[in-house]
Amino acid sequence: MSKTSIFSAIPKLDYEEKAETINKEEFIKTIKSRRSIRSFTSEKVEEKDMMECLELALLAPTSSNLQCWEFYWVKDPSKKEQLKKYCLGQPAASTAQELVVCVARTDTWKENAKQIVSNFENSERKVPKAVLSYYRKIVPLAYNQGVFGLFGVFKRFILYFRGIKKVTPREPTSNSDMRVWAHKTTALACENLMLSLRAYGYDSCPMEGMDSKRIKALLNLPSGAEICMVISAGKRASNGVYGKRLRLKSEKFIKMV
């Protein structure tokens, strides 16, 4: 919603972060060699590596920086066995060394916005008023959908009429939009996690074929939390890749207009 007023101009900031030069071949290798692995060896994932990969996941961009994600690294042996079952016993889960449940939170934005403001207030660098007011005023307006989503309906109504003549942001104005919003940001971090595992010498498989209801109960998650995907990790077995990567022709998906 209306980021217009605040973000139409760059606030004066005394900060610069230079772009690093990357050896792009190493990066391309990472993306190209990441495959969804269906069978892992018995080799362990180093605890330190796993933690570093999870930390790298959190560096993905996040919508309004509201960090609506959570990553449950399931280590308890009995919970891990349960989780494998809840992933329908598929080999990508049952042979995995580690399993991470990636959770999208539609319900933590308010608390996180507060913490962000408090971080800004305690920061040595001066944060522009416009940014503070974005988190204090715009964020609650934008992400709150009200009881039964009624405030969302109201917003949709207002934005519809505003939008007849003016360029107008349209989402999120429903609980469905909030789900999309939270899953989208969480997926950005999931991709970071899978690529990081690859760069660290491991492999992964993202799984959506699972019993989300049982997994939520296992992790004691509230209703505003949704399972985005479960990511398994380990070293690929020789029969871990089903076959050559199959993508339909890229002209189908990349369109120049």
Which 52-91 residues touch its own copies, going by CB under 8 A? 54-56, 58-61, 63, 65, 67, 69-76, 79, 85-86, 88-91
Q: How far apart are CA 100 and CA 91, in angstroms?
A: 15
- Among the listed residues 1, 144, 153, 156, the single contact to its own copies using CB under 8 A: 1
Nearer to its own copies, 11 or 146 (CB): 11
- Among the listed residues 38, 139, 143, 155, the single contact to its own copies using CB under 8 A: 38
36 binds its own copies, rule: CB under 8 A? yes
Nearer to its own copies, 26 or 147 (CB): 26
Distances (CA, A) of 135 to 50, 109, 193: 32, 10, 28
Q: Within positions 107 to 126, which residues make up the interface with its own copies, using CB under 8 A?
A: 112, 115-116, 119-120, 125
Beta-carbon contacts of residue 230 (< 8 Å; ≥ 6 apart): 83, 87, 93, 99, 100, 101, 102, 206, 207, 210, 215
3-state secondary structure of 71: strand
* Half-sphere CA count of 190, side-chain side, radius 13 A: 27
23 binds its own copies, rule: CB under 8 A? yes
184 binds its own copies, rule: CB under 8 A? yes
Nearer to its own copies, 54 or 151 (CB): 54
